[in-house]
Chain A
């Protein structure tokens, strides 16, 4: 899977409250509307500016906090091609894979706001076209590659009629 787009840079500790805040709790059953507010409390204009295929690029512990799967879901619905961070909070990471949003752990210090990136998700290779550097992402665990390749956990379950993780 190849994706090309622009980097939107965020800092460390972007929480699920930044992504899908509690004050918009009533929109959780209206995801298209909630997606218009994605990451609003970290960058109020992000939802207006982001284009399909663009990337969220962040520092450490992206997605910390709540278990709300709405957070990766609305990032995906906003058209984001992948989230790149130095590290992810556990529940967000698992949720992202479950909803089919690629998440890559890599050295994001080599990426600045508005850099053009081209990413090969299956190889975990990030080419920063603006800077002319290639960044290697930490490989996803096999079990998560299986779920992501099936299009998320729901599709995995539908396809196999249960967990088919070769354990």
Chain B
């Protein structure tokens, strides 16, 4: 019987002929925790008397959400992860190395693999044709110790994308538009499979942005074919031998098919306080913004920083709007230095923050004041997300963010491109 990508991967990892709705116990290839969820995972394993990692070289503990630590309680939480790594041989990703999801695709994940992570945006690695999903600390703890997890094989929604993006419109706009269309619970318990000519032509960075936000539609995973673009990405990182093609079988069963033509897509914004509260930019232009944040696992890659630098180079941010830039990883940071991007952004008035989650999680590095408005390239704008329930968060592409930093109000980037 024909299979979706998820059904193929979970069949291979469970030894069963798995189809949507089946419950399987699957072998996992990699697991991650971060400094918000990892300490609890470690404590759960201590309670079980199973403080070990079945596969230490692909168990990765990230210190990225509060990195470097802004307070002693978190410094002590970080020690729990460092101690666990020392004891088990698991890999520790230190405060200089960046946000977990970017590092997982840069250094760890390959097509056809299974990743579970104690972070909801673990689904990012789906862009490489892997099954990657977020779970809680206890699920991931048991996955780390046993090398297995249980899963209900999800139904799949096929998202078939056609058309060419207009200048100034990006995969981020597509994803915000899609979530606005189907709702924040539109794909709950299901997987998304992105395909069609627009996806085939999309660079890997854009695919990461889409996969990263699958969970914002409620999805368990967001998957892509593993193709020549995937192969090139892995080859550039010395993992060409790990590439394999993967795609759904013709005739696979889908829960439904959503078709989107991006030809007429406009820059799209999520307004407070839910990601599915989307508007075309014309409806939001002119809204005063106190802080612009460019970075995160959604849009903190070199491609994103290049767009921001193109718009901001030689200019200055609006004096009433602060601009924070946070490269997603050390690799991105170093490349942005080499390309002169960080110098251009800093000269334009950006505060460059060390690689990691930055201001996105509301722990440090850009917490909002009462009544303040932030426009951010991250994936989530819930009330309180950036450290203050009295603040307001808008989500956009890096281009909109850069144009907004220049004008101090939400701005259409196309006049600068």
Please list the residues of chain A having a beta carbon within 8 angstroms of any beta carbon in chain B. Answer: 13, 15, 17-18, 21-23, 25-30, 41, 60-61, 64-70, 87, 89-91, 94-95, 98-99, 141, 143, 152-154, 157-158, 162-163, 165, 167
B76 in complex: contacting residue of A29, A69, A89, A165, CB < 8 Å: A29
Are B382 and A17 in touch, CB under 8 angstroms? yes
Tell me the minimal C-beta distance from B182 to chain A in angstroms.
12
CA distance A69 to B22 in the complex (A): 25
Are A89 and B384 in touch, CB under 8 angstroms? no
Please list the residues of chain B having a beta carbon within 8 angstroms of any beta carbon in chain A. Answer: 16, 22-25, 36-37, 39-40, 44, 47-48, 65-66, 71, 73-74, 76-77, 80, 117-120, 122, 134-139, 142, 146, 148, 150, 152, 184-185, 188-189, 215, 218, 220, 274, 361-363, 367, 380, 382-389
Are B65 and A25 in touch, CB under 8 angstroms? yes
Are A67 and B384 in touch, CB under 8 angstroms? no
Q: A25-B65, A41-B389, A91-B135 are in contact. Are A15 and B363 (CB under 8 A)?
A: no
Most buried by A among B47, B48, B73, B388: B73
Tell me the minimal C-beta distance from B381 to chain A in angstroms.
10
Tell me the minimal C-beta distance from B44 to chain A in angstroms.
6
CA distance A21 to B74 in the complex (A): 15
Are A94 and B136 in touch, CB under 8 angstroms? yes
Are B40 and A70 in touch, CB under 8 angstroms? yes
Are A87 and B389 in touch, CB under 8 angstroms? no
CA distance A131 to B325 in the complex (A): 54
CA distance A46 to B398 in the complex (A): 38
Are B135 and A94 in touch, CB under 8 angstroms? yes
Are A25 and B188 in touch, CB under 8 angstroms? no
Are A28 and B184 in touch, CB under 8 angstroms? no
Q: A23-B363, A29-B80, A67-B118 are in contact. Are A91 and B136 (CB under 8 A)?
A: yes
B contact residues around A29 at 8 Å (CB): 39-40, 73, 76-77, 80
Are B185 and A64 in touch, CB under 8 angstroms? yes
B120 in complex: contacting residue of A13, A22, A65, CB < 8 Å: A65
CA distance A41 to B218 in the complex (A): 22
Are A165 and B384 in touch, CB under 8 angstroms? no
Tell me the minimal C-beta distance from B411 to chain A in angstroms.
27
Tell me the minimal C-beta distance from B271 to chain A in angstroms.
13
A contact residues around B189 at 8 Å (CB): 90
Are A18 and B73 in touch, CB under 8 angstroms? no
Are B184 and A18 in touch, CB under 8 angstroms? no
Q: A27-B73, A66-B120 are in contact. Are A154 and B138 (CB under 8 A)?
A: yes
Are B48 and A65 in touch, CB under 8 angstroms? no
A contact residues around B120 at 8 Å (CB): 65-67, 91
Tell me the minimal C-beta distance from B50 to chain A in angstroms.
8
Are A67 and B382 in touch, CB under 8 angstroms? no
A contact residues around B389 at 8 Å (CB): 21, 41
4 more CB-based (< 8 A) A-B contacts, given A65-B120, A98-B136: A21-B387, A23-B384, A23-B388, A90-B220
CA distance A90 to B191 in the complex (A): 12
Are A163 and B383 in touch, CB under 8 angstroms? no
Tell me the minimal C-beta distance from A160 to chain B in angstroms.
12
